[in-house]
């Protein structure tokens, strides 16, 4: 029997780590500290240089948003906290460009989905992704280069 996911949300996360954290150390944390085995917290993770790494097939549930994982595609950027450990939008320009492009791609693929931050779900008591996703999307001007 084939299970088809009903995707309702594209969810933006931060890793709540310093910007120089490696994907391998994040995966190790999920496995050893969270006990998630090999299932990641996100489908995609965006490195400081804007490189997007797919961690999980979109057909599978990640551990992105408790009680909503079956209806979400999760994207995270490496970062989200300052040197003091407090929430901070410290995305690089490359991460912002890559995030915007990935959101556009996924909203075209999954018609009618809502894009929201992790913190925008009921009962979530964390700052993730350390910025207001809807406000950012309404104000962001992508660099179209010579496209015009």
13 counts as catalytic? yes
- Choosing from 43, 96, 116, 118, which is the catalytic residue? 118
- Res 148: pLDDT: 47
The pLDDT value recorded for residue 1 is: 47
Catalytic residue among 60, 109, 126, 134: 126
Alpha-carbon gap, residue 5 to 3, rounded angstroms:
6
3-state secondary structure 39-101: CCCCCEEECCCCCEEECCCCCCCCCCCCCCHHHEEEEEECCEECCCCCECCCCCHHHHHHHHH
**Is residue 68 annotated as part of the catalytic site, yes or no?**
no
Is 43 designated active site?
no
Q: Is 126 a catalytic residue?
A: yes
The topology under which CATH files domain 9-133 is: Lysozyme-like (3.40.80)
Catalytic residue among 9, 42, 44, 77: 42
The DSSP symbol for 138 reads H
Residue 60 annotated to the active site: no
Q: pLDDT (tens digit, 0 to 9) for every residue of the chain, 148 residues total?
A: 455 789 999 999 999 999 899 999 988 888 888 878 778 889 999 999 999 999 999 999 998 898 999 999 999 999 999 999 999 999 999 999 999 999 999 999 999 999 999 999 999 999 999 999 999 999 998 876 654 4
| Distance in angstroms between the alpha carbons of the first and the last residue of the chain | 47
pLDDT of residue 37: 77
How far apart CA 25 and CA 141 sit, in angstroms, is 33
């Amino acid at each position: 029997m084939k299970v088809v996911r009903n995707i309702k949300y594209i969810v933006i996360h931060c890793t709540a780590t310093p910007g120089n954290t490696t994907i391998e150390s994040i995966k190790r944390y999920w496995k050893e500290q969270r006990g998630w085995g090999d299932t990641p917290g996100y489908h995609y993770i965006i490195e400081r240089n804007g490189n997007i790494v797919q961690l999980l097939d979109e057909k599978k549930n990640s551990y992105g948003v408790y009680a909503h994982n079956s209806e979400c595609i999760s994207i995270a950027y490496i970062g989200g906290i300052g040197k003091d450990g407090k929430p901070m939008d410290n995305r690089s320009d490359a991460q912002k460009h890559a995030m915007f492009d990935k959101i556009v791609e996924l909203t075209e693929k999954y018609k009618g989905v809502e894009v929201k931050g992790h913190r925008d779900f009921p009962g979530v008591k964390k700052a993730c992704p350390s910025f207001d996703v809807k406000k950012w999307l309404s104000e962001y001007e992508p660099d179209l280069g010579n496209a015009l």
